[in-house]
Amino acid sequence: MKRSQINQVLQDADAFLRQHGFALPPFAHMTPDALRASDHSHLAARRLGWDVTDYGSGDFAAMGLVLVTLRNGSLDELAAGQGMVYGEKVLVVREGQLCPMHRHVSKTEDIINRAGGVLVVELFAAAADGARDMAAPVTVICDGQALRVPAGGQVRLAPGESVTLRPGDWHAFWAEGADCLVGEVSTVNDDENDNIFDPVLPRFSEVEEDAAPWRLLVSDYVRLLG
């Protein structure tokens, strides 16, 4: 993705969140220079901040996602079973924009439709080897109720509704009717290692630097924060 496109996507997402009354933490509003001048060690280590990806598709409107990691624990704390063992994100899912089929190795997450249109979640169970089981049903929890879904079936979440996805639950999602403001509450998030896509896709986009960054992405931190 071109940096100029990323800048516009971020500004549009920021406006969308403000429109829905969702206030971001101060670090999400820091310019690159302000972030560099701050004590950013915790933010960088926990990968807190903006994330934009088109999954290498070259067509962000058709396949892509905007995320802000608001809080995140560490894998050491998760392994110890105490401390900050959780994470939280807010997502902007544009109408008709696909977050492609994937599963997580260790993360359990609640995907919550906070506002907007209907969030459609397509589901598959995992076979013994971790691959998608194209025949077996999958059982998920939707707001405290067990729901049995056939392979490739869909859960449709209206605003206020959620689904709990456990490690191995294959899922893709998109918005229908209007853009969706989506929450994610999970165990510790590790986007570098904990996402498996079918078909195989990159989690982070390559960035073509045709403009100065409006905000840094979490994928920029190692290279641009030093």
State how far the alpha carbon of 211 is from the alpha carbons of 27, 123, 203, 220, in Å: 21, 38, 22, 14
3-224 to CATH, choices 1.10.340.30, 2.60.120.10, 3.30.565.10, 3.40.50.720 = 2.60.120.10
Domain extents in the chain: 3-224
Contacts of residue 13, Cβ cutoff 8 Å, sequence gap at least 6: 66, 92
Provide the pLDDT for residue 226. 64
pLDDT > 90: percent of the chain? 98
DSSP 38-99: S--HHHHHHT-EEEEE-TT-S-TTTB-EEEEEEEE--HHHHHHT-SS-EEEEEEEE-BT-BE
pTM: 0.96
Mean pLDDT of 101-126: 98
